[in-house]
Structure 1
């Protein structure tokens, strides 16, 4: 029954990710619900999400090829940040990470709700000339490292953070942005997974159930997405994520 629950949570997450994002708001709590320790649930959720990132990034091959001069920087700092984030997770006691979960969920939920408004505000605030300053380029690389560090530590909300970063650094082509979002997510996740495997943190059977559901859900969503209003899906995710965040605060504190 646990495997069935995880499969259907992955199925729903795959549909949500393809339409509006936010699938981790379903899969991470589901992994906790079946009894996985918080750190293991987080590592397993990263593993189960990775296949979707990789296949999605491959679908934007042409768009990524157009900005190949930027890709070595992306690969290097996504790898470094993802590794440090994953290593940080290894050294935090399980009880401390459990106490952080409500705050991490609150952060990810806030990003999901306010992400588009924050992106627009950042874009209006920072001029094109400022973005071309040499010091701003160094700052953008450092921000990429910090974002990857967050993704290696806690995967939920990573895509929203990355999109905000890309807007901040001057990207405007939506296809390039989606391709980079998926590429950075894939690199961060794969780096973290290698470290989690070394430390034995991934529950393979649970992760496989979620991953299979996610892949099938993504395929289904590709067929039905034109008939579904993304606004309603987004509202549903917001209600779910807020409810789960309140629950985690209540159960933890």
Structure 2
């Protein structure tokens, strides 16, 4: 445990944890921001601190990304040549992000989560929706400056998972010109490798709550599998856009609550 015990009377919430993991895996695989479901669940329902929730959240993210990566690869939709370039860049950025996260306090992590929500909102209101519905027959390329952007997103993934997949999807579709399934394949591979390192670090520091995290990871396996199926379904881009709008709306609601709660409860 990460500093507190699970109340036996709350065991009825086990299905809620699994369902939260399903939503997290599905949204992360198809679009992004599955943490918009898992993080509030752990913070608001189970009373975790921001740092423990941030650490525990890496488990369903990691397990779901591994499942999605395997399923996309099995369907032949993984660009392994690009992966050989992008994975090292993301890992280097992630290592720097994890080191930075260890130096931050809970209030500072909370501020960064709010920043992630605001940035995601800006993307939705400006470029992101247009990118997801765009149809472009130009073959994918891997520009050097795009690799640097992946490293920057890797830093963010090491620091705060929330909305990191949104930024990866944006880079892969706009800068590399991948279609949605191929972009999601690479995105989930990068999420998997960047989630693995923080899980090791947070486990060493004793920040992960293995009870909640493991239950959500089980659900994330299921959600990720169906996320791959939806990525290849007719109208997948429209579904992904709607999923993004949904999760960003949840994030905005969380941001409003975090801001107003001290005044309401005080």
Report the TM-score range of the alignment, normalised by the length of the smaller protein.
0.7 to 0.9
Q: Distance in 2 between matches of 1:237 and 1:48?
A: 17
Residue aligning to 2:251 = 241
**TM-score, L = length of structure 2:** 0.76
**Per-residue deviation at 1:151?**
0.9
Residue aligning to 1:188 = 194
Write the deviation string for residues 34-62 of structure 1: whole angstroms up to 9, x where unpaired.
Answer: 11111110111122211111111122222
Unaligned runs of 5+ in 2: 1-9
Contact 1:8 1:213 survives alignment (8 Å): yes
**Per-residue deviation at 1:143?**
1.3
Q: Distance in 2 between matches of 1:167 and 1:20?
A: 12
Is residue 160 of structure 1 aligned with residue 166 of structure 2? yes
Would you say how many aligned residue pairs link Structure 1 and Structure 2? 243
SS in 1 for 2:147: helix
**TM-score, L = length of structure 1:** 0.79
SS in 1 for 2:77: helix
Unaligned runs of 5+ in 1: none
Change (3 A) 1:240 1:48: same
**Per-residue deviation at 1:155?**
0.9
Residue aligning to 1:63 = 77
| Aligned partner (choices 41, 44, 47) of residue 53 of structure 2 | 41
Write the deviation string for residues 83-102 of structure 1: whole angstroms up to 9, x where unpaired.
Answer: 11112111112232233332
Residue aligning to 1:92 = 104
Is residue 24 of structure 1 aligned with residue 35 of structure 2? yes
Residue aligning to 1:108 = 120
Q: Distance in 1 between matches of 2:156 and 2:123?
A: 13
**Per-residue deviation at 1:7?**
2.5
Residue aligning to 1:7 = 18
Change (3 A) 1:224 1:111: closer
Q: Distance in 2 between matches of 1:75 and 1:68?
A: 10
Q: Distance in 2 between matches of 1:184 and 1:21?
A: 13
Change (3 A) 1:19 1:38: same
Change (3 A) 1:221 1:57: closer
Q: Distance in 2 between matches of 1:227 and 1:68?
A: 25
Contact 1:43 1:202 survives alignment (8 Å): yes
Higher helix share goes to which structure?
Answer: 1
Residue aligning to 1:251 = 261
**Per-residue deviation at 1:18?**
5.4
| Aligned partner (choices 71, 80, 90) of residue 78 of structure 1 | 90
Residue aligning to 2:66 = 54
Please provide the CA RMSD for this pair: 3.5
Q: Distance in 2 between matches of 1:19 and 1:137?
A: 24
Change (3 A) 1:18 1:42: same
- Single out whichever of 222-231 and 75-84 deviates more from structure 2: 222-231
**Per-residue deviation at 1:146?**
0.6
**Per-residue deviation at 1:137?**
3.6
Q: Distance in 1 between matches of 2:170 and 2:242?
A: 23
